[in-house]
Amino acid sequence: MMARPRLLLSSLVLGAGLVAAVLTMPLATAAERAVVIPPPAVDAKAEGGTAKAVFAGGCFWGVQGVFQHVAGVKNAVSGYAGGSRETASYETVSSGTTGHAESVEVTYDPAKVSYGQLLQVFFSVAHNPTELNYQGPDHGTQYRSEIFAVTPEQEKVARAYVAQLDKAGVFPEKVVTKVSGLRGFYPAEAYHQDFLTLNPTYPYIVYNDLPKIGNLKSLFQGLYAEKPALVSQARG
């Protein structure tokens, strides 16, 4: 198992110059290139109020950061899904034995962004859905690609989209993303929340996650929100 380095932020500040360089370098240099994919042929019905969706796609820092910049998203919380409440802590989940995956719970306005659009961002920008039980430098089942459907309709839409993407052959390998019903979502520790925004010069973020924000802005201009929907603001 390979996990992210511990949070020694005071000794790992790189400066704004390197951040700017990463954001302007070719997309495939610092992180995997995003894949342009078609929207889902089947989408969930738009309803009033708010809805929730839960996605797992490697380190939750980057997945959270991406969805926080999607217009119509009211909140995106890093946490754990797939296991029990008793084992929902970073140290325990990092063992890879709990059944949990690092996940992000997205609260969104279906009138502004659909579940299908969130799925499109998830598959195209937020992670690589062809990597089995790992994402980039992070290895273990806790970094797997999985969609935790909150409703039967979400499960139907997600399964149909996985089949659609595989049939279209938009990825060089088969999509390995699991689709399952959500049994519970447990928010991660406070220091994991808003990590990308609060630590833009942290090396892991610079090399692995900031390019995802650039990809989102480039490929989904109509969905991109410059100001992130932060957990700290939602709580305040």
Contact 33/216 with Cβ under 8 angstroms?
no
Active site residue 5: no
CATH classification of the domain holding 57:
3.30.1060.10
Quote the tokens at residue 48.
């009033």
Domain membership of residue 140 as a residue range: 47-228
Residue 158 inside a domain? The answer is: yes
pLDDT digit string (tens) for 53-102? Answer: 999 999 999 999 999 999 999 999 999 999 999 999 999 999 999 999 99
User: Three-state SS string across the chain, please?
Assistant: CECCCCCCHHHCCCCHHHHHHHHHCCHHHHCCCCCCCCCCCCCCCCCCCCEEEEEEECCHHHHHHHHHCECCEEEEEEEEECCCHHHCCHHHHCCCCCCCEEEEEEEECCCCCCHHHHHHHHHHHHCCCCCCCEECCEECHHHCEEEEECCHHHHHHHHHHHHHHHHHCCCCCCCCCEEEECCCEEECCHHHCCHHHHCCCCHHHHHHHHHHHHHHHHHCCCCECCCCCCHHHHHC
Report CA Rg, the chain: 16
pLDDT tens string, the chain, 236 residues long: the values are 345 543 433 333 334 444 444 444 444 344 567 899 999 999 998 888 999 999 999 999 999 999 999 999 999 999 999 999 999 999 999 999 999 999 999 999 999 999 999 999 999 999 999 999 999 999 999 999 999 999 999 999 999 999 999 999 999 999 999 999 999 999 999 999 999 999 999 999 999 999 999 999 999 999 999 999 999 887 65
Total of domains in the chain: 1
Q: How many residues does the chain have?
A: 236
Q: What is the pLDDT of residue 47?
A: 80
Residue 16 inside a domain? The answer is: no
Quote the tokens at residue 104.
């992000």
Residue 6 inside a domain? The answer is: no
Residue 32 inside a domain? The answer is: no
Residue 25 inside a domain? The answer is: no
Residue 130 inside a domain? The answer is: yes
**Distance from C-alpha of 112 to C-alpha of 128, rounded to nearest angstrom:** 25
Residue 87 is given by DSSP the state G
Residue 195 inside a domain? The answer is: yes
Residue 87 inside a domain? The answer is: yes
Catalytic residue among 34, 37, 56, 59: 59
